[in-house]
Structure 1
Amino acid sequence: MSDIPAKRALPSKESGLFKELLTLYETRQLKKGLKTADQILKKFPEHGETMCMKGLVYTHMGRREEGIELVRKGVRNDLTSHICWHVYGLIHKGEKNYEEALKCYTQALRFDKENLNILRDAAHLQTQLRIYDGLVETRYTLLKTRPNLRQHWVALAVAYHLNGNLTEAKKILEQYELALKNVPDYDVEHSETILYHVRLLEDLGEHTEALSMLDVNAKSRAIVDRTAIMEIRARLLSKLGSEEAEHAWRVLVEHNPECYDYYRGYLANSKLSFDTSDDNASRALPILEEFSTQLPRATAPRRLSLSIASGERFKQLIEPYILSGLKKGIPSLFSDIKSLYQDTFKQQAIEEVSTKALETFKSSSEPDVEPTSYLWTLYFLAQHHSYLGRHAQALQFLDDAISHTPTLPELHMLRGRVLKRAGDPLGAARCLEDARLLDGQDRFLNTKSAKYRLRAGMVEEASALFGLFTKKDAPSPGQDLEDMQSLFYLTEEADAHNRNGHLGPALKKYIAVSKVFDEVEDDQYDFHGYSLRKFNMNIYLNLLTWEDRLRSHPAYVKAALAASKIFVAVNDDPALASTATTSGQLTDAQKKAKKKAKKAAQKVQEEAKKTAPTNNNEDKGLEAPAKDDDPDGSKLLQCSDPLERAAKLLKPLMTLADSNIDVWLAIYDVSSRRKKYLQAAKALSQAATLDSEHPQLHVRRIQFRQLVSSLPPETQGAALLSEIASRLLPDQVSIEVFNSQYLQSHSEDSAAVLAVANVLVALKSPLDQVEETLFTAFNASLDIKTALAIVDFLMTIKSPRADSFRMRCSEQFSLSTVFQTPEELAPLRLLVVAGQQLDADGDKPVDL
């Protein structure tokens, strides 16, 4: 007791109460714990450790702010107590503030160097923050403190592994295995440890030792994962160049004939691949054909042969493959072979085979041909033509298919996809609604229909459909889907708001996508302890590698780019922040259509509720969710630091999506406005290495040239910036000439035409020159997305010819509706949810 500071020392009664308080907190008896803390503080109101524990109890009772303040006061009252610092660390950890939490744990360890709980928590934080040097030290201390725990040995080996010191990790495992005694049979934890040891040896290049260890432990049945044994053994034998490798891979193929990796390994062992070169194909195809003969029910070898074969050999192989799929009625046949369309010869061969099959099935009376084969061939050909941009032909095949079997949802779904590609999102949504109505209890159809409504800009109507299958006690369908981390919903709704010009709600959803990835990153924290307790080292190491590349996910990349564009737009024009959160002024026709659509949606929802399955597993008694103080994203849009937030979103992509030119262009846009000119220059240079002729890079090259020329000479790095600018756009060439030359060399690219027009506007060229330039896009390969961008651009510069361009686009893309006016679209929106469609003359709606 003499070593305890006087202000911390408690009489025996209060000391016993404090121990009871610790127990009550650990068992989550919070109310009793609070009373116990108050008993101590009544006599010793400045006792720091008790104050901290009371504050910790408060945070778990929902009184977070009050609890945090109490903990801070407790720490100030006793700066040398490991309990105070530990509690403060727990508070920071609860706030996901891992750096500060680790600092608190480090302070706590100064006063209690061998506290197992603090050491363990510190190790988890160091792993979370990827501080592997410190992790090795902490794990070593844990091992010295409790060397009889198996987990501590393995955890130290993993720490060395993560820190790149595989040799030390191997030594630790060897010492651990020498000390093991009385290992029970079929011990999964021991099995995982051995597999991890084998992995270490393989990573060190000690393949002979790894194979020997694997074989010995496999023979003694110390390793219980038989599939892992076969996979690792085949891989090691190949690396050693052993003659047994071929047999090992063959055993794996027979074990799972549909695993592409096994065929890849078998071919790689013979110095072959899935390459289409003549030499490779001549040797690889007989091997795959042999497997097809031995394993007649396996699809993988026959499908892989199609990737390797070319010319006449491909024609011989593709015909039985397609015919088999069509006869069996495999809906995913087109998705299976879609990757072959990169080769135009294969594309043509597939079309010939499927067209011939259609004629055969149409008039066939063969006993092995099912009546549905004709239907699925129509379905396949519709997918084929739609993928190649022949939308009218695809719709014709679908008309035939729907007249043959009108109750097949896949046909209506595909029709919707064709119309979407043809530029008719409202017609697409109508078709998906037709598919949904065929089976009201199918969650997939419901989701697809709602998704297409979002793509048509019908956010409220989509929410009505989502609500059929979300929790009935959720604040809204959208909130439930956000809580479920539905990335497709968040990105689709954000895009819908963005297209509708509602930047606030769009930005809110894009940021919600970012928060999902933050939560996934935080969720790994629990695995730092769990995986090592369960001895799942191999899976755990794979998890950490995956987490390190988490934000390379397409959903994050898309959301970060879109959000950064909104932040940049608001920075450039702050007035957007006050006008872009509402739906704006609607015309009378739009208001009327919206009102009718809302009523129709409510009617559909009420009827569907009767048929939708009841969710009997809904959680009861959950706490009410916190009230959203920014429902329309207006506060987020009006933030004081839009560029800093954009930079934070884009930062991970500099390493995780460095091959995406849009990332570097976005980084340039943000950096140049933040006056980080060297960073902006580097971003443009990186973009130029990826695609030096990219239309948007052309615009930014000229922007950068103008920016650098306007900087004062004393600007830091001015000489380097000038050098980079001259590399991107030679000094001896004027901007006007450079822009003209770019148009001449890219006159067939409509996106390049738009880029040139952007530059002309920046150079204050006459409006008629800009308009004439943009109208040359009709002579180029104009697509719907670029055409819409040009229409928006013409409206932005207030061109009187915007309507003329829009009407020409409407004529060129005859199936599209995206070029129609809001007044023309209003009745079409109504039809999506009203269960109606226009009659043949397009005059009036008729009931379906």
Structure 2
Amino acid sequence: MVPNAVSWILTCRCYLKLYDSPKSTAEGDEEMSKLPPSQKKKIRRQRKAEARAKKEAESKNEESSSGGVSKSGKRNVKTADPDPHGEKLLQVEDPLSEASKYLRLLQKNSPDSLETHLLSFEVNMRKQKILLALQAVKQLVRLDAENPDSHRCLIKFFHKIGSMSSPITYAEKLVWSVLEAEGPTISQLYGRSLMETNKSFLDKHGVSLMHRAAVAEMMCVLDPSKKAEAVKLIEDSTNNVVPINGALGSVSSWKLKECIAAHQLLGTVLVDPDAAFRWKVRCAEYFPYSTYFEGKCSSAMPNSIYNQTCKKTENGSPSHREVGPNATSLVSNGKLEGFKDLTI
């Protein structure tokens, strides 16, 4: 991936989020006026955070690319950021058009990146560019058919196609003929319904949290009445404990960012606050230093007796050690127990 690709991806995603809320500044003001003050404040804070994240990513890329010396021997000097807080980013009139500009950069410079085609799918589905969205799906399947996001796009696309009305115009009939010809070439769908395809994906990747989450989400897309089953699918996931190099104890297989994604899925997509709360409590045990889950050793609990204890026993190292409740601890009373049986 090219050096600037990360900032392009973040910028593109920011514009997509802006498009998904208000489609223009004027429409956004009209919609915002209908919301209670607390909700308005929350939305503004979220937008600023997204813009800030984008600018920070760009700054890091600039620092890494401008910190060296050019071929002429002159040291590169970082230019001042004209929009340090992302205010201009929030004021664009056509976020989807802006997202498309960054997408073209990614398609030109990172054509074999999965993220490029994920963004292509999202942009073209919003623009109702069906054939371009199909092209993105085919690229995702080619690059990594087993990726949870590739699976999401595959199911979403053909579910959308299945809900479309019969073609009337010549252009619509032409598009439909391409879809009918291309659909059977995707092996995941051959001879199966979308529900069967989703179940097959679960059977193949049932031990993975992220794959289970993708299946659960698509289960609700295909049949909203299966929400309870989808929630259970996530909550029944097992955080297997795996060894690290044999002598250094064990860690849980779940990653913090994966658990955060599952929590957001439960709370904002499946909209089950109770399940989201249970998940948060569970993950706080696996990630005691996580401020997101308000773990007992995190800065979110600064005055907790647990926090003080953690600081002492962990010898002042507040890292996100992915140690589960049943995992073997590396530290006990300030000693590295994991090394006691180590032989050289």
1:774 and 2:240 aligned: no
Which has a greater percent of helix?
A: 1
1:786 and 2:252 aligned: no
Given that 2:285 and 2:295 are in contact with CA atoms closer than 8 Å, whether structure 1 keeps it comes out as no
Normalised to the residue count of structure 1, the TM-score between the two structures is 0.26
Given that 1:760 and 1:770 are in contact with CA atoms closer than 8 Å, whether structure 2 keeps it comes out as yes
Q: How many residues align?
A: 242
Q: 2:123 maps to what in 1?
A: 670
* Partner Cα distance (1:691, 1:815) in 2: 33
Given that 1:650 and 1:663 are in contact with CA atoms closer than 8 Å, whether structure 2 keeps it comes out as yes
Q: 2:203 maps to what in 1?
A: 744
* Partner Cα distance (1:839, 1:707) in 2: 52
Read off the aligned partner of 1:782 and give its amino acid letter. W
* Partner Cα distance (2:308, 2:239) in 1: 35
Normalised to the residue count of structure 2, the TM-score between the two structures is 0.61
Question: Are residues 798 and 806 of structure 1, via their aligned partners in 2, closer, same or farther at CA, if it must alter by over 3 Å?
Answer: same
- RMSD, aligned CA: 3.4
| C-alpha displacement of 1:771 | 1.3
Question: Are residues 838 and 678 of structure 1, via their aligned partners in 2, closer, same or farther at CA, if it must alter by over 3 Å?
Answer: closer
User: Identity of counterpart residues, as a percentage?
Assistant: 24
* Partner Cα distance (1:818, 1:717) in 2: 45
| C-alpha displacement of 1:810 | 2.0
Given that 2:207 and 2:238 are in contact with CA atoms closer than 8 Å, whether structure 1 keeps it comes out as no
Question: Are residues 712 and 636 of structure 1, via their aligned partners in 2, closer, same or farther at CA, if it must alter by over 3 Å?
Answer: farther
Q: 1:804 maps to what in 2?
A: 278
| C-alpha displacement of 1:816 | 4.1
Render the CA deviation track for 1:1-26: whole Å, top value 9, x for unaligned: xxxxxxxxxxxxxxxxxxxxxxxxxx
1:582 and 2:41 aligned: no
Q: 1:708 maps to what in 2?
A: 161
Specify which structure has the bigger relative contact order, considering alpha-carbon pairs within 8 angstroms and separated by 6 or more residues: 2
Question: Are residues 634 and 786 of structure 1, via their aligned partners in 2, closer, same or farther at CA, if it must alter by over 3 Å?
Answer: same
**Aligned positions of 1:470-485 closer than 5 A:** none
* Partner Cα distance (2:262, 2:310) in 1: 31
Q: 1:553 maps to what in 2?
A: 2
- 2:112 aligns to what SS in structure 1? coil
Read off the aligned partner of 1:802 and give its amino acid letter. A
Q: 1:432 maps to what in 2?
A: none
Given that 1:809 and 1:819 are in contact with CA atoms closer than 8 Å, whether structure 2 keeps it comes out as yes
| C-alpha displacement of 1:570 | 2.5
Q: Where do 5+ consecutive residues of structure 1 fail to align?
A: 1-551, 585-624, 831-836, 844-848
Read off the aligned partner of 2:279 and give its amino acid letter. F
Q: 1:153 maps to what in 2?
A: none
1:697 and 2:150 aligned: yes
Question: Are residues 571 and 724 of structure 1, via their aligned partners in 2, closer, same or farther at CA, if it must alter by over 3 Å?
Answer: farther
Given that 1:807 and 1:819 are in contact with CA atoms closer than 8 Å, whether structure 2 keeps it comes out as yes
Task: Give runs of ≥4 in structure 1 deviating > 3 Å.
Answer: 575-581, 630-635, 813-818, 824-828, 837-843
Question: Are residues 570 and 821 of structure 1, via their aligned partners in 2, closer, same or farther at CA, if it must alter by over 3 Å?
Answer: farther
Read off the aligned partner of 2:178 and give its amino acid letter. L
Given that 1:677 and 1:721 are in contact with CA atoms closer than 8 Å, whether structure 2 keeps it comes out as no
1:653 and 2:106 aligned: yes
- 1:717 aligns to what SS in structure 2? helix
1:753 and 2:212 aligned: yes
Question: Are residues 583 and 720 of structure 1, via their aligned partners in 2, closer, same or farther at CA, if it must alter by over 3 Å?
Answer: closer
Question: Are residues 702 and 638 of structure 1, via their aligned partners in 2, closer, same or farther at CA, if it must alter by over 3 Å?
Answer: farther
Q: 1:721 maps to what in 2?
A: 179
Q: Of the two, which has the highest radius of gyration? A: 1
Render the CA deviation track for 1:319-361: whole Å, top value 9, x for unaligned: xxxxxxxxxxxxxxxxxxxxxxxxxxxxxxxxxxxxxxxxxxx
1:680 and 2:133 aligned: yes
| C-alpha displacement of 1:821 | 7.3
| C-alpha displacement of 1:649 | 0.4
- 1:666 aligns to what SS in structure 2? helix
Read off the aligned partner of 2:284 and give its amino acid letter. S
| C-alpha displacement of 1:744 | 1.0
1:762 and 2:221 aligned: yes
Question: Are residues 838 and 633 of structure 1, via their aligned partners in 2, closer, same or farther at CA, if it must alter by over 3 Å?
Answer: same
Read off the aligned partner of 2:122 and give its amino acid letter. D
Render the CA deviation track for 1:669-689: whole Å, top value 9, x for unaligned: 101211222221111111111
* Partner Cα distance (1:785, 1:766) in 2: 26
* Partner Cα distance (2:86, 2:310) in 1: 43
Given that 1:704 and 1:725 are in contact with CA atoms closer than 8 Å, whether structure 2 keeps it comes out as no
**Aligned positions of 1:229-628 closer than 5 A:** 552-554=1-3, 556-574=4-22, 579-582=42-45
One of 289, 294, 301 as aligned partner of 1:820: 294
Given that 1:581 and 1:633 are in contact with CA atoms closer than 8 Å, whether structure 2 keeps it comes out as no
* Partner Cα distance (1:842, 1:747) in 2: 37
| C-alpha displacement of 1:637 | 2.5
